[in-house]
Structure 1
């Protein structure tokens, strides 16, 4: 849990995003046996639809398994609803997967360059 989120009011956009990130982590634990982490970024303060979550895992195989799991995808989308993310923006929020193997192959292991 990110304790810094406690500095933001529950109704603030930043708090909602941090709560969503925590909920994604809790959910992914049940589907992924590899080490993983969640990255997020976006211009959500300009428009809430400009938000991206990356579920970063180790292998291409796990990435593919997670991407095709429709139950998981539905649960991830429902996390936006649970945390009262603005309804008009929900369909535009990107939640995707990336692997260390892909970043190593395509971006010499540099996640920052990979996401640029």
Structure 2
């Protein structure tokens, strides 16, 4: 059976794919960024925090092969989305949804890389 951090990682990746897909559809249909997309992005951030906390268990025993890379991915996983959301905080224009889409894809990739380095 996969570990808890692996299970949370796949939940994060699936939810990040959903958020990025919805944000991309909104951007391509030239719709303003709705409030529910912001809520989905912050829910993704909550999942990333849970993933980071679960990732701290990797330091039990031998620990990850490259500690600096692992810690870098842990920090990046919880910092990318808030930075992206802050950059489009007052902007509800069409392409602010594209920023959310790119950030969601980025944190999904970071989550996979975090799992690979554990």
Q: Establish whether TM, by shorter chain, passes 0.5.
A: no
Q: TM-score, normalised by structure 2?
A: 0.31
Higher relative contact order (CA 8 A, sep 6+): 2
TM-score (norm 1): 0.31
More strand by share: 1
Greater C-alpha radius of gyration: 2
The structure in which a higher percent of residues are helix is 2
